[in-house]
Every structure is written in C-alpha cells, then in structure tokens.
Amino acid sequence: MIAVAAGPNRIDPYVIPALDGVAYGLLVFVAAAGLVFCFGVANILNLAHGMLYAIGGYTAAALLDGGWASLALALGVGVLAAAAAGVLLAGLLTPVATGNHLTQALLTFGVALAGGSLLVAGFGPDDPQVLVPAALDGSVAVAGHRYAAYRLVFIVVAAALAAGLYLTVRRTRAGMLVRAAVDDPEMVACLGVSPTRIRVGVLAAGGALAGAAGVLGAPIIGPGADTADTVLLLSLVVVVLGGLGSMGGTLLAALAIGEIQTLGVALLPSAAPFLLFAAMAAVLAVRARGLAPRWAAA
Amino acid sequence: MLYVERLCAGYAGGIVLHEVDLRVHPGSIQAVVGRNGAGKSTLVHTIAGLVRASSGRIEIGGVHVAGRQPHRVAQSGVGLVPQGRRVFSRLTVAEHLVLAASPWRAATPGGEGWTVPRILELLPRLAARLRHRGCELSGGEQQMLAIARALLGQPRVLLLDEPCEGLSPDLAARVRDLIGHLAAGGLTVLLVEQQLRHAIEVADRVAVLEYGRVVYDRPTTEARSDPGPLEAIVGIAPTASPPVTRSTPRLWADTP
C-alpha cells in the first residue's frame, strides 16, 4: 500500500512541467513545420524562418488588448504578414533556389539579420508585453495543481492546428504534391507542376504557420530581440531530429524538445544549459536518421 | 507530331547528343536502341526538358519546346515514363492517380481524355492496389502505375524509357501490347528499348543511337524481313567515331 501511494507523490511534482512540455512542444511543432517542409520539399535552407515567427509575436504584442476580437485580429494580421514575408523570401531565393545550401543560408541569414533589426527598430529593444484575453488570464486546476488557462487552451488549439496540418498533407492534392515533391521533385515537374509554384506555396504556408505560432505562442516564447534566433535554433533541431518532410517525425521531435526543455530541466536542473543539445547528440549517436518513424515517412 | 532536328544536348562533362534528327508521326511508335551510354536516356530527358538542349529544335505538334522547363514541356503534351519507373514511394496508387489527373487538361488540345476510371479499366491490376504505396508494388505494377501517371496528364507524345527493364518476359510482352494499343489509339510514342528484337516487334520505325548520333533510322518492316544489317549495327562494330568532348550547358538542376 505504501509503495502504491508513493508512486503518485514521486510523479506529482513533474505533472506541470510535463504539461508545459506538451504546450512547448506543440508550439515548436507549429513553428518548425514550415521550415521542415521548406527544406524537405523546396530544398531551401531558410535561416530567416525564426523571423517569420517573430513577425507573429510582435503583431500579437502590438494588437492584443485583452479581448477576443483583438486576438482574432492579431491572428489574421500575423498570419497574413508572415505568409507575405514567406512569399517575399521565395522571390529573393529564386536566383539561388537550385543552388547549394551555403548560398541559401547566407542569403536568408542576411535577410534574418536585416528583418530582425527592422522589427527591433519598429517595436523597440525591450521585450514587449503580451496581453492574453482576460478570460484566459487566470489559472485552472489540473491534477491538484494550478495551471495557466491560456496554456491549456493553447495545447488544444495547437493540437487542432497540428491535426489540420496532418489532414492537409494527407488528404488534399496540395499535400500529395508536397509529399511527392519530397520524394522526386523532377517527376513532379514532369507532371506539369511548376517547381516555382511549389516553392512559393511551401514558403507562404510555412510563413503562415510560423506567424500563427508567433501570435498564439507569444505568451510562451514572447517577442524580443532574441526570439527569431531561439525559434530558428529549435526549428533546426527539429529538422535534424525529425527528418525531412515527415509529419510524424517532426511532431515527435518537437514534443521531445518540449519535454526536454521543461520536464528535463525540472529533473536535471544542473544540466539545463546543455540538456537539449546533449539529448540531440545522444539520439543521433543511437539513431542517425533521427526520430522519424518508418511508418511516418509519408 | 514529335519532331527533333539537329538536337545537341549533354551534361556538365560534355555533349552527349550530336545533331540528332527524328520525326515521329501521330499514332506511330519510334523505337530508339543502342548500347549503354549511347545517349538514349539523354535523348528522352532532353525532350522532356530535364536536360537542357544546347542547340537544335524539338517540336510537339508544331510548338517549339526545346529549352522549356519540364513542367512547361509536360503542359505541352509530353508524358514521361522514366527508366526505373520513379513512382512516388510515399504516395498510394490512388494518390498517384489523383495527383496525375491534370487540372490543365483543357489546355492540351487533342488529348484523348484519359480518366481514372478509364485507366483502371485498361490496367485493372491497379484497381486492386489502390491503397498500396508506390514502394509496396511489384516491378510490373510500378511500371503500370508509371504509365497510368503519364497518361493521366493527357499526353500527345509519350516517352517511354526502357519500360520492360527488369520485368518477366510475360509481363514485358503485356507492356509492349499496351504500348501498341496506346499508339493504335493515336498516341505518338518514343520508345527507348535495350532489346532490339522487342523494339522491332512493337515499333513502326527503329533508330540506332551510337555515341549520341543517329546511325540508322528505318521502318521496322525492313528489319523484320531482314534483321541482319540492323543487328550488325547494334551488336557488333561501331559505325560512328567517339566524339570530341565539348563543354555544354548544365542541367536544370545545376543552373544557378
């Protein structure tokens, strides 16, 4: 009886970090999905992807006033602005779209630096405050703990976004094109589909997703001078761990990152500074192709 | 329908095709045979736009397509069944058919109106494998799927690069029957084939490529009655000299 009773007590302190890990992981998934497909489909290494998230974050900070209408407005504006930035990036990348990744990395890194500076110049160097809707500003009881209502709702919304993305990739013609292009872009072109259209579409959709993540995730990874770098770094880890063009692998990698960043740090606080990258190195040492399961290759 | 004139093309390492001339009429099958490295696949890839032509003309129904990108060539009415099939391993058979059913069908005048039901009637084996992924199909099924994928693009010209490669003799014969059936329906077919006898069996004309040059191009009726001269060209002594290597425009994929 004592052993049975002791089980929940040992787990109890980690319930909230584990839940936080799910929220963080789903945020990273929505933010990183665009980068993963951009790399996997269009073969473009977009180091300006973090900036697209930051656009959403700053939009949220500028427009949110604690009401639902402002959240809807911020979401619409943030998604559109980030998608437009994605299209702009696709245009800038046209001359190097079939070049090597170093050229693309240099170009997009330059865009990220310039874009980041413009955002800081426009919104100021201090991290702006983000006001969530008043109804979600409190906390709710979860397994005997208080947990931020906004984060709980975010988990539901982000899970719905992930499910929508999954269904889009699995069930729509656009999704089939994406999966086919990951497999053999030349044969997709031989079906009469322009590679440029696919590239622009993927960058716009990736931008929209990153913008949505930036608006909705602003209370979790808030806008600031380092936001773009943080999101880019996490997204690149997702690419390395999750594989290219694999929804299952991407989700698994993002959730793993979320748990490492929250639950892992709670369990091993002294290892917090390097836990994520130590875990990444360990995964790659054991499983070189990352976490992507074979069944999730599509 | 397919008109190739003085076509030169190649890769970064040098020119592979040297002033190739071919004329394939609607409803006829032009076979291209030759040894490994003769330039057969390069010819198909150049017509399909995967390799950029450095000079010469390629006309599809009177429209000059040389230099166009692959998706533009496909929209001009060219369907490709590539060597090795290259079906999408992540997509099911049903998804292949949905993806290949071309939304620009109306822009392809003279298209024969291939639909998914018509394809499944022609290739019933695919109907039984609709939920299977490309990587789960046998070689013959993959070949059928590659042909179905090309047909759903409503091509006027069908390029087949060694479609019987790796298939059992029975299955290869069925694929040749299918090609004959398609040509009888009015499709213009360019067939790259390793096996000379198979090419003679199905094609209306046969051309021999050697070191990227056409060294023989005659009706197959001649070869059927007396295959000796053709077999001598394909199988024994080279009749063209190896060309001097020249620089060439790079592949689309290499274009900066």
* pLDDT tens for each residue of B120-134: 988 889 999 999 999
Q: What's the pLDDT score for residue B255?
A: 34
Q: Are A54 and A116 within 8 A, CB to CB?
A: yes
B42 contact partners, CB below 8 Å, separation of at least 6: B9, B10, B11, B16, B17, B51, B212
CB-based contact A183 B100, cutoff 8 Å: no
The distance of A60 to chain B (nearest Cα, Å) reads: 38
The distance of B68 to chain A (nearest Cα, Å) reads: 12
Among B68, B85, B88, B147, most A C-beta atoms within 10 A, so best to mutate, is B88
**Is the minimum CB–CB distance between B74 and chain A shorter than 8 Å?**
yes
- Asked if residue B52 is part of any domain, the answer here is no
- Asked if residue B227 is part of any domain, the answer here is yes
Tokens at A160, concatenated:
């719905």
Tens digits of residue pLDDT in B207-256: 999 999 999 999 999 888 888 888 888 775 445 555 555 444 333 333 33
Name the residue in chain B with its Cα closest to that of A43. B253
Alpha helices in chain A, H assignment, sequence order: 2-11, 15-42, 49-63, 68-93, 101-123, 149-171, 173-183, 185-190, 195-216, 227-242, 247-259, 265-267, 275-286
Phi, psi of A128 (to 5 degrees): -75, 155
Can you give the CATH number for the domain in which B157 is found? 3.40.50.300
Neighbours of B191 (CB within 10 A): 28
The SS3 call for residue B119 is: helix
Tens digits of residue pLDDT in B67-114: 999 999 999 999 999 999 999 998 999 999 999 986 655 544 444 588
- Asked if residue B58 is part of any domain, the answer here is no
Beta bridge partners of A139: A148
- Asked if residue B5 is part of any domain, the answer here is no
The alpha carbon of residue B143 and the mean position of all alpha carbons in its chain are separated, in whole angstroms, by 13
- Asked if residue B44 is part of any domain, the answer here is no
**Is the minimum CB–CB distance between B90 and chain A shorter than 8 Å?**
yes
Q: Are B162 and B83 within 8 A, CB to CB?
A: yes
Structural domain of residue B218, as residue ranges? 26-39+70-203+210-240
Neighbours of B227 (CB within 10 A): 15
Name the residue in chain A with its Cα closest to that of B45. A190
**Is the minimum CB–CB distance between B41 and chain A shorter than 8 Å?**
no
The distance of B181 to chain A (nearest Cα, Å) reads: 22
- Poorest-pLDDT segment among A254-268, A277-291, B105-119: B105-119
- Asked if residue B167 is part of any domain, the answer here is yes
Q: What is the DSSP string of A18-55?
A: HHHHHHHHHHHHHHHHHHHHHHHHH----TTHHHHHHH
Tens digits of residue pLDDT in A218-259: 999 999 989 999 999 999 888 888 876 677 888 999 999 999
Q: Are A34 and A52 within 8 A, CB to CB?
A: yes
Question: For chain B, what is the mean pLDDT?
Answer: 86
Of the partner residues A95, A98, A179, the one whose CB lies closest to the CB of residue B253: A98
- Asked if residue B48 is part of any domain, the answer here is no
**Is the minimum CB–CB distance between B224 and chain A shorter than 8 Å?**
no
Q: What's the pLDDT score for residue B112?
A: 52
Cα-based distances in Å from B89 to A160, B10, B96, B160: 28, 29, 10, 20
Give yes or no for residue A1 having a pLDDT over 50: no
Q: Are A36 and A242 within 8 A, CB to CB?
A: yes
Neighbours of B69 (CB within 10 A): 18
CB-based contact A173 B98, cutoff 8 Å: yes
**Is the minimum CB–CB distance between B256 and chain A shorter than 8 Å?**
yes
Q: How many domains does chain B have?
A: 1
The distance of A169 to chain B (nearest Cα, Å) reads: 11
Among A186, A194, A199, A244, most B C-beta atoms within 10 A, so best to mutate, is A186
Classify the C-alpha dihedral B55-B56-B58-B59 as positive or negative: positive
Q: With contacts defined as CB-CB under 8 Å, which chain B residues touch A37?
A: none
CB-based contact B71 A96, cutoff 8 Å: no
Percentage of chain A surpassing pLDDT 90?
50
Q: What is the CA radius of gyration of chain B?
A: 18
Q: With contacts defined as CB-CB under 8 Å, which chain A residues touch B98?
A: 173, 176
Phi, psi of B186 (to 5 degrees): 110, 0
- Asked if residue B63 is part of any domain, the answer here is no
Question: For chain A, what is the mean pLDDT?
Answer: 87
Q: Nearest CA to B202 among B163, B166, B228? A: B163
CB-based contact B256 A177, cutoff 8 Å: no
